[in-house]
Structure 1
């Protein structure tokens, strides 16, 4: 059946082939809701949010009792910065499936994203009371993250029970992360570490490569990102918007820094935007018929201008549109040379953190992605080495990089921000320290932590796990 084939292609992320099949279906069945839904999901993945809203609205009209298209439509509304429309859709989904915990979970996530922690907690708790479902593991995980429990009243028995009731590896893994978080909050560090290790071990099984396989890629970035390449940039380039990139390792405090910066009247953010790697690099690879970073050797003024315009279109989607627009995707550090060629006015903030603290934060947090350095301390150590190697290279090229330590930021935020804003070409504003009062959408793992004032709680947390952490991280070293 053509629809089954299209859905399978979509599962395999073969978007062009899947799109062709869905459109073939619609050519003869223009009212086919499943095909419209498929096209809507493709538009979402490509971050074509306006098109996604249009397609998913049509899909929802033709599939009136299905929850998945409604949840996708809410994502699309969030993509076009219409959170109220997203909320309306999610409330409607909950109303048509009031005894199903899944729409309650998605609604609670919306509250969480927009900083309404009380409503999020109440809605998650109500969803939990509906019984055991696959989504229950994620509900419990979020309730644990919210941290509103103690030794007498907690979710540990729920989590243990769910682990015995499922053979699904991912659900078990999520429960193990939640158990680790639970025991950590209750100061049972031995149990906490054991469950974090179990979770990492399970997730590592889902990884499809090793970090060492990235070594040649990093060597090639260094080889092709040269002083001669950077010297070819347009020195008289000027623009009304300054692109700013917060880069570094995951779990180094980028969400906190972003929320501080966008409280400034001249700053806005794209969040963790993948346009450089997914759109700009893909365009250059296609046009030069050469993979990144080798394609850097084949750049022409015309290609640079076209690639620049791709990212300018991305910048224009920032809400509100302001003179400084931030992209906080940490892994953009792999593309600094390319970004600087496209935007000689770009600025980079390299946010670093104690490597052991960063390692523990990665080790103890659930990343939906299965990259090996997110779920193995030895793989993380190797990845950190690659990051340091590449940052050393960028520093030798004298790129406009502002190095900021997370520990300095939380211990002395005002002075650090003063210096940082000088680098960005504007003046510090007091609002930057009251960022937690805002109800901006935050979708990263720090979406709860940034709803409170700057604090140093996370600086030394890793030290409670120092012995087993370092033993595991250094495993295999001679």
Structure 2
């Protein structure tokens, strides 16, 4: 979305109402937040700034249909405002209305040619084809910009994606490297800080932690799908979410926010980890479940990949929750992250050395969880196995959720529920295997990444074996 701050020309009553809504969301009171949003929406006709603000908040709550209605009204009131058009296109993408979204992004780019987010998002909506792509237009736009222009980042990622679609692999990686290097240069990030946190989590949530009895909150609904981004979490979310008794909340920061809120004041990540090991787990479980959407679903999916950091807390706070971990070949997983422009998240993904080091730290933590988590609550699924045997893997997933089989899970591409992730366009298609082994197209370019795995003894070629 292009709305990042409350505009100054909102009516004071509306601004106050939005602040109260934000307060409800920050405190984890989802019901009060949604009720207040609906009440304010009724008064928003003819107010494009307010409609934009409402659309943003609906999006943050995963209520994409409501967001689309707000953004559509705002765009109708301001048909030449590229921000309004872009936000409406984002909501349409979540809804699976990809052709309409592309049309709006075409118009956004006409009005704001330096909007690199619009160029990038448009490129991701479909597989580009010879005679029907934007490669020449992207190249012309890049030629107009200075080497340090910030819009080059999104344009380079868009060009890399479209060239890869067309089989222009050398040119694709050249554009990708330029975009990633430019993005990395604008970040203040040290992968070692994240690695320290991963190691600290292992030390604080060891066998002794799991040997103790924890008084958690009894709720059968939570179902967590975790892993690295681009590892197949959205695909599994769509398969599980196609079941008649399952709903999905998509990606959410509610668990992380509840941990921060209830662990108490902490100076840094290290202190937060230590405090969270002795927090009130029942209160954490109750607070998290208060954020779940109301409805009859027996299971509610939270597919936030980064929740793999909190699996000890999930186990202690939610004794009936189920966890699914997605694994993927390390080279494919890291290349898939490297070629994705995440904007605010995953700062390790813009540098091959950072990616290799982060993957090894993540893998060490998952090896630890595999050893200490209750086996009946923790299921690992390999992306490659899911692609090779969709039905077999899907049946394992549904059985792990404790539900009877539903044939709708085999036709996840027909699932009408909205989704807004980096895979929003791909999951509207039947399962495909073209991404398996894609990294081999770039073996030379990815040598710095592979060296980390070779030095750590991670088998990459025919000896690499996913989890059983």
Query: Which residue, 354, 377, 389 being the options, matches 1:379?
Result: 354
Q: 1:56, CA displacement in angstroms?
A: 6.3
Separation of aligned partners in 2, 1:164 and 1:265: 51
Q: 1:83, CA displacement in angstroms?
A: 4.5
The equivalent of 2:465 in structure 1 is none
The equivalent of 2:261 in structure 1 is 282
Q: Which SS does the other structure have where 1:244 is aligned?
A: strand
The equivalent of 1:14 in structure 2 is none
Separation of aligned partners in 2, 1:189 and 1:90: 37
Query: Is 2:182 the counterpart of 1:215?
Result: no
Query: Which residue, 81, 84, 99 being the options, matches 1:103?
Result: 84
Q: 1:430, CA displacement in angstroms?
A: 1.0
The equivalent of 1:191 in structure 2 is 171
Query: Which residue, 251, 264, 282 being the options, matches 1:305?
Result: 282
Say whether the 8 Å CA contact 1:36–1:55 is kept in structure 2: no
Q: Which SS does the other structure have where 1:349 is aligned?
A: strand
Q: 1:115, CA displacement in angstroms?
A: 0.8
The equivalent of 1:271 in structure 2 is 250
Query: Which residue, 316, 327, 341 being the options, matches 1:366?
Result: 341
Q: 1:307, CA displacement in angstroms?
A: 1.8
Q: 1:476, CA displacement in angstroms?
A: 12
Change (3 A) 1:376 1:83: closer
The equivalent of 1:93 in structure 2 is 74
* 1:123-162 alignment runs, 5 A limit: 123-128=104-109, 130-135=110-115, 137-147=116-126, 149-162=128-141
Change (3 A) 1:276 1:90: closer
Q: 1:291-311: per-residue Cα shift (whole Å, max 9, x none)? A: 222114534xxx222222111
Q: Which moved more, 1:242-251 or 1:44-53?
A: 44-53
Say whether the 8 Å CA contact 1:271–1:326 is kept in structure 2: yes
Separation of aligned partners in 2, 1:288 and 1:210: 18
Change (3 A) 1:124 1:42: farther
Higher relative contact order (CA 8 A, sep 6+): 2
Q: 1:16-43: per-residue Cα shift (whole Å, max 9, x none)? A: xx9xxx9xx9xxx983666666666676
Unaligned ranges ≥5, structure 2: 456-468
Change (3 A) 1:149 1:266: closer
Change (3 A) 1:392 1:322: same
The equivalent of 1:3 in structure 2 is none
Query: Which residue, 291, 315, 327 being the options, matches 2:271?
Result: 291
Change (3 A) 1:339 1:220: same
Separation of aligned partners in 2, 1:395 and 1:159: 45
Say whether the 8 Å CA contact 1:60–1:70 is kept in structure 2: yes
The equivalent of 2:466 in structure 1 is none
Say whether the 8 Å CA contact 2:332–2:437 is kept in structure 1: yes
Larger radius of gyration: 1
Say whether the 8 Å CA contact 2:230–2:337 is kept in structure 1: yes
Change (3 A) 1:43 1:251: same
TM-score normalized by structure 2? 0.84
The equivalent of 2:234 in structure 1 is 255
Say whether the 8 Å CA contact 1:247–1:329 is kept in structure 2: yes
The equivalent of 2:151 in structure 1 is 171
Q: 1:152-174: per-residue Cα shift (whole Å, max 9, x none)? A: 34312322333344457442100
Change (3 A) 1:475 1:233: closer
Q: 1:45, CA displacement in angstroms?
A: 6.9
Query: Is 2:334 the counterpart of 1:354?
Result: no
Change (3 A) 1:199 1:43: farther
Query: Which residue, 454, 457, 463 being the options, matches 2:431?
Result: 454
Separation of aligned partners in 2, 1:87 and 1:361: 29
The equivalent of 2:462 in structure 1 is none
The equivalent of 2:447 in structure 1 is 470
Q: 1:453, CA displacement in angstroms?
A: 0.9
Separation of aligned partners in 1, 2:174 and 2:107: 30
Say whether the 8 Å CA contact 2:89–2:100 is kept in structure 1: yes
Query: Which residue, 361, 368, 390 being the options, matches 1:393?
Result: 368
The equivalent of 2:299 in structure 1 is 324
Separation of aligned partners in 2, 1:361 and 1:227: 33
* 1:438-449 alignment runs, 5 A limit: 438-449=415-426
Say whether the 8 Å CA contact 1:276–1:311 is kept in structure 2: yes
TM-score normalized by structure 1? 0.83
Change (3 A) 1:194 1:42: farther
Q: Which SS does the other structure have where 2:430 is aligned?
A: coil
Separation of aligned partners in 1, 2:247 and 2:212: 29
Query: Which residue, 414, 426, 432 being the options, matches 2:403?
Result: 426
Q: 1:327, CA displacement in angstroms?
A: 1.3
The equivalent of 1:121 in structure 2 is 102
Q: 1:370, CA displacement in angstroms?
A: 5.4
The equivalent of 1:204 in structure 2 is 184
Unaligned ranges ≥5, structure 1: 1-9, 12-17
